[in-house]
Amino acid sequence: MTIARKLLSAGAAASLLAAAACTTIGPSEPQGAAAPKGVEGNWIDAKGTGLSTFAAGSFTTVATDTGQKLPSD
């Protein structure tokens, strides 16, 4: 009877450890992408003829049909 109790206790303990390991170990939360800073980005004009880009303090506009850089005022 004592051996049966020890085996039962050991089995119960092993089951609890296995269940605890399944619930506490898992993939960590994924890291989100960093939020953009400032106003850097791309904009297209209302007519769709020019694509403006502001990056690193520089503003450039190119024609969407030819890719030619347009002068800025």
Q: Is residue 60 part of a domain?
A: yes
Residue 50's domain comprises 2-25+39-70
Q: Is residue 32 part of a domain?
A: no
Cα–Cα distances in Å, from 26 out to 11, 17, 22, 32, 60?
24, 15, 8, 18, 47
Look up the pTM and report it. 0.45
For 5-58, the pLDDT digits (tens) are 766 777 666 676 666 666 555 566 666 766 666 778 999 999 999 999 998 888
Q: Is residue 31 part of a domain?
A: no
Q: How many domains does the chain have?
A: 1
Please tell me which residue, 63 or 13, carries the higher pLDDT value: 63
Predicted confidence band of residue 65 (pLDDT cuts 50, 70, 90): very high
pLDDT for the residue numbered 56:
86
pLDDT for the residue numbered 24:
53
Q: Is residue 9 part of a domain?
A: yes
Q: Is residue 15 part of a domain?
A: yes
